[in-house]
Chain A
Amino acid sequence: MTRLAAILDALLPGDGAFPPASGLGLAEAMAAHPRFAPAAECVAAAAEGVETLATEAREARLREIETADPAGFGAFVVAAYSLYYTHPEALAAVERETGYKAGPPQPGGYALAPFDAALLAGPRGRAKRWRDAP
């Protein structure tokens, strides 16, 4: 496993229906992504040797790096989540676990019950609440 893949698995280890980052080829996708590759390179450079560490030690080392550079590491985490949660397999996992429809929101949209104007019975009966102005 490459260093970047090991780091990404520490972030997104997988659980239940959710695959680990390495199961989605996230390291390769991030390294090739023009917006996200720089953040990946920075964190990978700071985490030299992390791929050889055991799980707990790896996480501890990454937390040290995060503490030293919260903005840079934060950008890396956002990049990782961005690729993970738009991957079809991760979205399928979300669908299996929550019932959320994994496809794009359009053109289907969602059915929702119309607004029930009876809900306004209370507010409608209240006194005027805005101030007159000179």
Chain B
Amino acid sequence: MKLIQAIIKPFKMDEVKDALNEIGIEGITISEVKGFGRQKGHTELYRGAEYVVDFIPKIKMEIAISDEQVTKVVETIQNAAKTGRIGDGKIFIIPLEEAIRIRTGETGSDAI
């Protein structure tokens, strides 16, 4: 099993979610996060006072999947989240040791 962690542009969230739904992904967790990569931050100006905003808002999506789904899921996220401009985000693939469905007690691939 793998945990896919995708950091994407906030306005791309719905597109990515719909695309993942289409390929049969049934569970996604998202959080609003802030960070910077190569895109860096931007400046804001309030009555002549300039502030550099280092961390810009992004959406972090977490999806637990079985090993054979990885290529398909990564491809889907990449296609849906891509604008071609700097700041599109990243996808991390993390090994997932165990998963348990709380209601039934199922484990492993059955639980995701």
- Decide if A and B are genuine partners: no
Interface residues of A (CB under 8 A from B): none
